[in-house]
């Protein structure tokens, strides 16, 4: 059984709607800049694992609440994922956008591949004790 790190649990809870967007943003903004970059990088990896698709981009921009003209949205519209290297003031927008994309892709993945239940720890978070860190 794999052990999920606290940030992995939080990111998955956000994608699955087990934590509110406001809670996620508050958590993210409380991180150091280096940890913010690591969280954004982890989200990029999670989006890939969940098989995010380019046609998910418009919905993820709409769900994120950021404008399509903001740099992270423009990057994602071009299917570029280097958001962790953006200036610090772009990280929260990147986080919001990638959480939305991850949520869309992971919801589809659970509906297609895990509909009858699965052994993925990250898909069974509501059954696990929660650690607020």
pLDDT digit string, tens, across residues 10-39: 999 999 999 999 999 999 999 999 999 999
Question: Tokens in use for 8?
Answer: 């992995």
Range of the domain at 36: 6-125
Is 47 among the domain residues? yes
Q: What pTM was estimated for this model as a whole?
A: 0.83
Is 34 among the domain residues? yes
- What pLDDT is recorded for position 79? 94
Q: Distance of alpha carbon 109 from its chain centroid, rounded?
A: 14
Is 132 among the domain residues? no
Is 119 among the domain residues? yes
Is 131 among the domain residues? no
Is 52 among the domain residues? yes
**Burial class of residue 99 in the structure, from the number of CB atoms within 10 Å of its CB (0-12 exposed, 13-18 middle, 19+ buried):** buried
Is 133 among the domain residues? no
Residue length, the chain? 133
Q: Is the pLDDT of residue 67 over 80?
A: yes
Is 130 among the domain residues? no
Q: How many domains does the chain have?
A: 1
Q: Say if residues 76 and 57 touch (Cβ distance below 8 Å).
A: yes
């Amino acid at each position: 059984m794999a052990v999920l790190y606290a940030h992995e649990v939080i990111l998955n809870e956000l994608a699955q709607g087990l934590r509110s967007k406001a809670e996620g943003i508050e958590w993210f903004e409380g991180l150091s800049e280096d940890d913010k970059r690591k969280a954004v990088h982890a989200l990029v990896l999670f989006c890939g694992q969940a098989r995010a698709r380019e046609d998910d981009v418009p919905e993820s921009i709409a769900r994120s609440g950021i404008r399509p003209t903001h740099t992270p949205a423009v990057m994602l519209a071009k299917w570029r994922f280097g958001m962790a290297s953006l200036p610090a003031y772009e990280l929260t927008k990147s986080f919001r956008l990638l959480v939305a994309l991850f949520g869309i892709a992971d919801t589809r993945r659970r509906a297609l591949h895990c509909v009858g239940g699965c052994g993925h720890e990250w898909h069974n978070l509501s059954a696990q004790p929660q650690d607020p860190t």
